[in-house]
Structure formats: structure tokens, C-alpha cells
Amino acid sequence: MLNTLSTAPFLSTAWLAGAARLERPPVGERGTVALRLELTDPPPGEPPAVDVQVDLVAGRLGLAAAAGESPGLRIRLPLEAARALLLGPARDRTGVFERGDVRAEGNFSLLFFIDAALERDASGHVAALRGTPGTTAREAAPPPGTEDAAEAVRRARAALPGTMRELEREVGTSTPGAQIYVSRDGVPLADAGLGLARPGVAMTHRSLPLWYCCAKPLLSVALGRLWEAGAYDPYLPVAHYLPEFGNRGKESITSMELLTHTGPLPTGDDPLHGIVAGPDEERVRRAFEVPVAPRPGGTPGINYSQWWAWFVLARILPVVDGREYRAYVQEEILGPCGMSGTRVHLDREEFAALGGELPLIHVSNPEGGPLPTHWWSTEAATTRCIPGVNTRGPLRDMGRLFEMLLRGGDAPGGRVLAPPTVAALTARHRTGLQDRYGNADWGMGFRLECRQLDPRFTSFGSYASPRSFGHDGLWTAVVFADPDAALVVALHLNGKVEHERHRERIVRLADAVYQDLRLS
């Protein structure tokens, strides 16, 4: 088998025959996921597409020429990129989605767990397919932190003992590291980091974790300022501001639809899947040219937008204000709020200085511990503008943003929003719609507490008031403000786990905050 794999061309019929001799993953079990690779340049006479089965638990791989109905994740890419995705090192795998010539459709989030399974290679299948010896990834022991970092942890333990016990339970099990910020009435109670940011680098209160979708409220606040000034109307079609967007069924889509995730484009059809960290020109082309099917009777969709909507909405800022997204957010939001540690996105000089210390996203598959990956940590993914995704900063800065909102838009460096604008942004604009991930009511880019509808729709915890608003960062983070308790909570765990496990740990941690403060 190894001789065939080393001599036959990659993904050729002969190579696939050799790969078929490996022990195949169990089909139909929850731990086995499938994807289809559609080659843009298949060699003559060879399969144009390949179906891949990945056992997330044991790491077994199954590969065969594509046949039958396509699985839920499809990636169209050159042969060279397919090799990097299946057999390359971790950095090369994430680099596939920075090239500009790759498309993905379906459940893009599966790629994080597939990546971890390929990196761990518990079965040795990846090593066998490469024709090289396998290695087992090991997590480094935490280095000693600085004295001020240790003091920050001591203060957090004194203020929130139960919360810190729960957080320390997660560190080393579901996540290698964590950061927490909690304030009440604007007074910080906890601002600390625990564990590892990446192998050999401690997570402290000064670390710059990835905010992921917790960064989406930055654009909501920016658009709210323009709305308040009379320069922008979220109820007008996006094409009113971006005429080139108004084509192929998108002529009437409004900003409000995109901000409340009720637009007509299904999540799996996001045109930036496969290129979210790719070249700007190609991202713009795909975002503006994607076709959208008409909705029966004009009914609202239930379509969470991971990247497409925020990428488009951010391009309204220079049209109505003259400043690009990064400059506007820095000058009008980060500066007044005192968010000095936050980078909307890094520039190349910052990446050269900080890239080796940035917290990595680690991924845990079933029955496996957290494994470091390079998602959102390469130079391209950290330095290109990806609104609502690749912002980094200490969680105290995230907390300061929400403290400003709790104060009705007032910030230490001046007013950011008027109180009616804050109320409008966090009001219930989307109601009566639910998805399978527990999302129900939404404000303008803010997730709202919906436990009162059904426990399945608990957003921020068992004790958060119905007026609470905030956001999640895909299976890694959460931030919310509870006006009734004058409370702000921000949590980041750099270990990504499956949805159900993440929801359980976040609710448990948030509940511990309320219990520590006798608000339960």
C-alpha cells in the first residue's frame, strides 16, 4: 500500500485504491463527518471529485471517487490546494482558504474539527498517506506568568471565587487557556487570564485573544452613529449606498435584514466560505455578485451570516463617512471607550512583533483534548480586514464597549451614541424566529436573552434578565451586558468544542458570576 501511495499521483485512481486499504471510518456515526473535494484541475482520466470521510474520534480517513449525493460540505479547489488540505502541515491547511481560488459551500464550521483530527492523526492515516512517520502532538506546560498577571488572578479569585473555580476546571480540559472580564456599575471585578495562549506562551489579562463574532457589535455601533447623524438608514436597501450590490436578487435587501440575520442567503451559501481571509478583490467580487433566490411571499429568512453580511455592511462606512471601517472604529469607538489594547485587525508590523504571542484557537474533537490550530492566526488572516471576525484585544476592552452601552452611549473619552440609539440597537427587531443553535430574538447585530421564551433559547445564563444583550464568538467566547444587574461579562476560552459542550460551559460560568454576586 505504502509503495502505491508513494508512487501514484495524488488523488489518482491508483492512489485512491491504495488509500482504500486503510481501515475505513465508521459510516453513519456522529463522530464521522464527510466532505467532497471538487477539483478545478483534475488530471486527464482521473476522478474530478473525491469524497472524504473523517473519523473525528479515532482519526481514520476514508477516500474514494465521488459518487451519489453530495455531503453537507463541498470544497472546490485546485489539486495542489487539496494536497495541502489533506496532507499538509497545520499552517498550510489554513492557508488553503487564503489563496483566492477556493470555494466552499455548506457547514464551514466542520473544517475546524476536521483540521484538528488531521493534525492529531490518532490513527496514523495521514502519516501513511504522506509516506512519513506519524507524530503525536503534545501541549507544552504553562510558562511562569508575570507578577502582575498572577496578581490579576488573585484579585479575580477574591471577587468571584465560584466563577474562577469553574473557569479553572475548564482550563486543561476543554481549553488550554481562558480570559475573563467582569464589571458591575462600571467597576472591574475580574480581569485575568489563565493557562496557555499557545504552546509555551501564557494567557494573561494582557493577551490579545480572537474576538471572533463578539466583534460584530463594533459595526453595529458604527452604523448606529451614522444612523443617529442622519447619514444612514438601516431600512433602505443596501444598494442605495452600494449600487453595485443591487444585482442578482439582492436589489431590495436592507441593512436591517443583514443585521438581524433574516436575509435570504442561507448560511451554507455564504460566498466568502473558502476565501474569508483571501485577497480583497476576490472577496469583493464574490460578495457583490452572489445570486440570491427570491423568498416565497417575502418571508424573512433565518440565516446567520458568519462573514458575508458584515463584509458588505462595512463597505457602507466609507461611502457615507469617507473613512474605512478600521479607521472609523478606531477613531469613533475604540478611542473614546479607552480600548487601547484592541486591534480591529493587525498590520504587518504588528504581526511581525506580536504574531508569535497571539493566542491560538485550539480544537477538541470527541474524546480528544484541545489541539492548537492556525485558524485566524496567520499573517493573512490577522492583517486583512474581516469585519466582525478577526478583531483581537484583551477582554477588558470588550467589556469597556459594553459598559459604554450600559451607560447609554457615554464613554470616558466622550459620548459615542445617544441613549435612544443604544435602545434602538438593542431592541427586539427580530422576533418569532428560532434556529437549531438556540438563537431566537435579535437586535441590530446583538443577540438578546430569550430564556423567557423557552430554556432552549437561553442566551447568556439562567439568571440574565430579559433585557440582556450581547454576542457569541463561535464556540469560544461570549460577551453580554445585563442592564437590570448593571453587569458586564466577557469570557474567552481558546479551546473550541462542539456547540452543546460550549453552551453548557458558558451558561455554567455565567451562572457562577451571578451566584458569586448574589444576583441569582
C-alpha cell at 319: 461611502
Q: Is the pLDDT of residue 2 over 70?
A: no
Name the phi and psi angles at 498, rounded to 5: -65, 160
CA–CA gap between residue 482 and residue 38 (Å, rounded): 47
The alpha carbon dihedral of 126, 131, 132, 134 has a sign of: positive
Q: Going by C-beta distance under 8 Å and a sequence separation of 6 or more, which residues neighbour residue 432?
A: none
Residue with cell 481562558: 178
CB distance 35 to 52 below 8 Å: yes
Q: What residue spans define the domains of the chain?
A: 2-130, 160-216+325-345+385-516, 232-320
b/e per residue, 63-101, with b = 16+ CB within 10 A?
beebeeeebebbbbbbbebbbbbbbbebeebbbbbbbbb
The set of cell numbers assigned to 312 is 458588505
With a cut of 80, say whether residue 138 has pLDDT above it: no
**φ/ψ of residue 39, rounded to 5:** -85, 135
pLDDT at 133 over 70: no
Share of the chain above pLDDT 90, in %: 87
pLDDT tens track for 394-418: 999 999 999 999 999 999 999 999 9
Q: Give the three-state DSSP class for 210.
A: strand
Q: Looking at the predicted structure, is the pLDDT value of residue 136 above 50?
A: no
The CATH T-level fold of domain 160-216+325-345+385-516 is Beta-lactamase (3.40.710)
CATH number for 232-320 (one of 1.10.3470, 1.25.40, 1.20.58, 1.10.287): it is: 1.20.58
Q: What angle do CA 8, 13, 16 make, to 5 degrees?
A: 80
Split at pLDDT 50, 70, 90, the class of 322 is: very high
| pLDDT tens per residue across span 162-179 | 999 999 999 989 999 999
Burial of 324 (0-12, 13-18, 19+ CB in 10 A): middle
* 378-389 per-position pLDDT tens digit: 999 999 999 999
State the SS3 of 229-244.
CCCCCCCCEHHHHCHH
pLDDT for 426 beyond 90 = yes
Of 409, 403, 410, nearest in space to 421 by CA = 409
More confident residue, 296 or 374: 374
DSSP string, 38-83: EESSPPTTS-SEEEEEEETTT--EEEEE--SS--SEEEEE-HHHHH
**What percentage of the chain has pLDDT greater than the value 70?**
97
Q: How confident is the model at residue 420 (pLDDT cuts 50, 70, 90)?
A: very high
Phi, psi of 482 (to 5 degrees): -115, 100
Over residues 44-77, the pLDDT tens digits come to: 999 999 999 999 988 899 999 999 999 999 999 9
How, if at all, do strands 73-77 and 103-106 pair?
antiparallel
Contact 407, 398 (CB under 8 A): no
Across 15-40, average pLDDT: 91
d(CA 12, CA 107): 27
> Is residue 145 very low, low, confident or very high in pLDDT (cuts 50, 70, 90)?
low
In CATH terms, the fold of domain 2-130 is Nonspecific Lipid-transfer Protein; Chain A (3.30.1050)
Confidence of residue 501 (pLDDT cuts 50, 70, 90): very high
Report whether pLDDT(438) > 90. Answer: no
Q: What is the DSSP letter of 293?
A: P
Alpha-carbon distance of 323 to 344, in angstroms, equals 14
Instruction: State yes or no: pLDDT of 143 exceeds 90.
Output: no
Average pLDDT, the chain: 93
Predicted pLDDT at 191: 98
Distances (CA, A) of 71 to 35, 110, 115, 130: 6, 12, 17, 25
pLDDT at 260 (0 to 100): 96
Q: Which of 284, 312, 300 is nearest to 431 (CA)?
A: 300
